[in-house]
Amino acid sequence: MNFAFPQTEGAEPRANIDRLRADVTALTSTKIPRSYENLAGLKEAAKYIENEWKKSGLKVAYQKFKAGKNTYENVVTTMGPSKGPRIVIGAHYDVAGPLPGADDNASGIAGLLEIARLIQQRKPTLKYRIDLVAYTLEEPPFFGSDQMGSAVHAKSLKELKAEVLFMLSLEMVGYFSDKKNSQSFPIPELAKIYPSTGNFIGVVGDPTSKALVTQVTRLMKQASKVDVQALNAPRELPGVSLSDHSSYWEYGYPAIMLTDTAFMRNPHYHTKGDTADTLDYKSMAEVVEGVYNVLINFSK
């Protein structure tokens, strides 16, 4: 996928492709895989996230919680106003088994890290508080349970009576293909509406999220050179609920997912082939630019 990256005089540099690649490489190169069985692997990944945020001048907190006999950690940083309504943007750093997990979901974490860097570099005026959260325990056997890191975080916001404008989950944002018919769909009807080539990013919500999905899609299109496609569909449709945003639905918060559609496009999903060299970092950078524009210009 080829993009032109013109820079006008005085323009801010675009999201950094090399940093995104370095983040994915680091997360897929932990000494042991970052799965729920391997606390040391998870700790190494969490420490990497912490260090990268600290390099950007941010304060980092750990949200610790018990699952089974073990203690796990979400990694959190906050930007913008300390009070008032907030936007939560999150991605999970755990993997499904002894796998590298480049697209799923080092790509989402890399996006989260780069968004923080851009905000710190460009220093925009933030209208709302932005909570960046790196979750653990998104993958089986915890998915759908109250022990998911995102469920723990969503519950804590509810207990604080926090005003959450919306939550955005970065769930696999790195795999793109220009091959014909590289995109599949959970039902045939969608193939009549959406591109058959897997070179777009999807903004996915349920039927109650139509206005939110519309605004996020519009803002992403303003700033991103990658194609952005919107989908509002019932939560029961395969794929619509399969990420951390579903945890926020359970607590009544608006939540949507940004995704390359996972197993409906990426042949390496949940395999040892999900490696850093399979991702499209130019397209990832464009996704980051789109999300940055959402965070800066969203209006409630």
- Per-residue pLDDT of 112-141, as tens digits, reads 999 999 999 999 999 999 999 999 999 999
- Per-residue pLDDT of 170-219, as tens digits, reads 999 999 999 999 999 999 999 999 999 999 999 999 999 999 999 999 99
Report d(CA 88, CA 248) in Å as an integer: 10
Closest residue by Cα to residue 145 from 36, 50, 234? 36
- The per-residue pLDDT for 87 is 98
Whole-number Cα distances in Å, 190 to 11, 196, 294: 39, 10, 26
Mean pLDDT of the 211-232 span = 98
Closest residue by Cα to residue 90 from 2, 185, 156? 156
Q: Domain map of the chain by residue range?
A: 17-297
The single residue listed with the structure tokens 């945890």 is: 247
- The per-residue pLDDT for 67 is 97
Report d(CA 93, CA 114) in Å as an integer: 15
Q: What's the pTM value of the predicted model, to 2 decimals? A: 0.95
In the numeric block, which tokens belong to residue 275?
């490696």
Q: Regarding the domain delimited by 17-297, which CATH topology (the fold level of the hierarchy) does it fall under?
A: Aminopeptidase (3.40.630)
Q: Dihedral sign, CA of 16, 17, 20, 23?
A: negative
- The per-residue pLDDT for 8 is 34
- The per-residue pLDDT for 5 is 44
Question: Is residue 30 pLDDT above 80, yes or no?
Answer: yes
Pairing of strands 70-79, 61-67: antiparallel
Long-range contacts of 156-163 (CB under 8 A, 24+ apart): 156/63, 157/88, 157/251, 157/253, 158/251, 158/252, 158/253, 162/86, 163/84, 163/85, 163/86
- Per-residue pLDDT of 243-299, as tens digits, reads 999 999 999 999 999 999 999 999 999 999 999 999 999 999 999 999 999 999 999
| Confidence grade of residue 7 (pLDDT, cut at 50, 70, 90) | very low
Question: Is residue 108 pLDDT above 90, yes or no?
Answer: yes
